[in-house]
Structure 1
């Protein structure tokens, strides 16, 4: 396969982003929001994979977001060649299968990207893609290992094995989300990376791997696409056929089982923006001042340090506080100490019971 073949970006946009409540909600999840810049997470993701090396993207998403996706991508001149609207969520492995089939199921290289991650150093990302392409052409399944800077227990890890091409290594093993002591040991060892959920491989190689390791998933995806309804660039896979697919991640279904799996370690300013604390870490300045967002609400902060304060409507006025996260959206206000934003999920569960 010539390296000049355009890479097809596949943007996975099925998540609901509940950890960034109250701004992120099922009807408008975090990838549709401008959280780190003037553009939304989806727009920034699409922009990362534009230019002569890339084809128009394929987006896999929830049907309720179809209009928002088209509007946002058109606004940055990154219109999708196909927006595949899943009838229900079945995790990443079946979603990627739909995209691989939509891309023709042949040797086209697919760049799989979550729609809601931050990559600050796009040049480093592109260099990693370039390093991976010769092995992708040979049929390898490639993942990108994020250079770790903390003993993170919320991510899966990858042990980086022998180098098989410049900048590209065999995957020695995938590691589940580890306990703290194991994460500390992997960080200290220096031969592990975070699993950021970004992949590059040929469509046919991925579908072949599914045929070997998850044949029921491949059949369900293929049948749902064979019976799909088309409306412009929108693709509606058949609901009954897709419902028969097992729900599984690409890591479990394919990457941990396939033989020719490689990793490109890369430091590219990556974050999955998985919490308000993560957003604080991205936006904090050296003086630790209160940080207002790009959301349209007014924030007045006096004698306030080390806080993340955002509003998309009501004015927030705070005096003499530190180490807080305060987020207002619509009729909801979230207030919690920095360091506890992972507990937003508990709040959402508690509110369901009221």
Structure 2
């Protein structure tokens, strides 16, 4: 489709990333960190949409991170056409509405991507985008279903329905984060995929869906952009107007309700890097199963993930299956397999 409009990447960078504490913190969440490569998660996300088929990205971020986001994108020569700085978090549906309005609100396709995910097979990702694009141009809302390899209870799932075109299916239904037995059944059925939170649709079709299913959200987003302050590429939506928006995810607000929603099942080496255990799983290990970064001494240690910041040395002897992270004045130690329990630490620290 040589005459097709370029796809506008929309990178969502508003998360706080507390599941990777103590390295990830509100002032520097995980998308701004180099966790899986020399470049940060944000930079790697921007690189996935380099090329003629893509326009410059629109980034939606926390105003507190504006300088870091601009600096990191400049580092990969991927300057944003717009950097929308949310005055407060309202979840993904309003954030995407801001971006769709900034994109012009017309028939341009927008590709919505979280800024803190890993995609190892970018070619497979691009092929999935191309498979979805003809239906998207006809007005369908598309999402990408991650080929599951485990009965994951931490993700939403998608039941894959009837085939629409080659590689693209109708969404039969979205499934909330399931209990273990239901996840095992869905994995065994072969007709379910993980919901990776990546979407492709025309800006006008998304805004039109909001007008039907979440009109208050659309009005708040539109008014906040009408009254926005602009400084170069930076857009500061009006705080008072944006605060009137309900807080909701795109899944709840739109995707679960719209009639024409498609899914492209794809195996592309995806991970949301949602925990230290997930980071260990996708990282290259040494011969003892350890993943070590920084000044680390590991003797007779096996299957550990250890990270230290410059100036901090971490030494382990005769241990196995541990996660040890030294960052700032904080040190995290916990068994592998329990990194989701970091939320207990965060809650305890808030009480203190």
Q: Does 1:160 align with 2:157?
A: no
Any idea what SS the aligned residue of 2:337 has? coil
Distance, in Å, in 2 between the alignment partners of 1:84 and 1:121 is 29
After the TM superposition, which residues 121-132 of structure 1 pair with which residues of structure 2 at under 5 Å, given as runs?
121-132=121-132
Aligned to 1:349: 347
CA contact (8 A) 1:85 1:237 kept: yes
Q: Distance in 2 between matches of 1:63 and 1:272?
A: 23
Q: List alignment gaps of at least 5 residues for structure 1.
A: none
Q: Does the 8 A contact of 1:3 with 1:133 survive in 2?
A: no
Residue 83 (structure 2) pairs with residue 86 (structure 1): no
Counterpart for residue 327 of structure 1: 325
The DSSP-based 3-state class of the residue aligned with 2:278 is helix
Moved over 6 A (4+): none
Partner of 2:251: 251
**Residues 307 and 338 in structure 1, CA contact (< 8 A), matched pair in contact too:** yes
Change (3 A) 1:132 1:288: farther
| Alignment-derived partner of residue 194 in structure 2 | 194
| TM-score, structure 2 as length reference | 0.98
Q: Does structure 1 residue 238 correspond to structure 2 residue 238? A: yes
Indicate which of 305, 309, 334 corresponds to 1:308.
305
Once residues 245 and 12 of structure 1 are traced to their aligned partners in structure 2, the CA distance between those partners, rounded to angstroms, is: 18
Aligned residue among 335, 338, 341 for 1:340: 338
Matches within 5 A, 1:277-316: 277-285=277-285, 287-293=287-293, 297-313=294-310, 314-316=312-314
| Cα distance in 2, alignment partners of residues 54 and 288 from structure 1 | 42
Q: 1:173-209: CA deviations, max 9, x gaps? A: 0001111111000000000000000000000000000
Partner of 1:149: 149
Instruction: Tell me the distance in 2 between the aligned counterparts of 1:147 and 1:290.
Output: 27
Gaps of 5+ in 2: none
What is the alpha-carbon root mean square deviation over aligned residues? 1.1
TM (norm. structure 1) is: 0.98
1:287 is displaced (CA, Å) by 3.5
Contact 1:3 1:137 in 2 (8 A): no
> In structure 2, how many angstroms separate the alpha carbons of the residues matched to 1:202 and 1:353?
44
Deviation at 1:289, TM superposition (A): 2.9
**2:220 paired residue number:** 220
Distance (Å, rounded) in 1 between the aligned partners of 2:351 and 2:217: 35
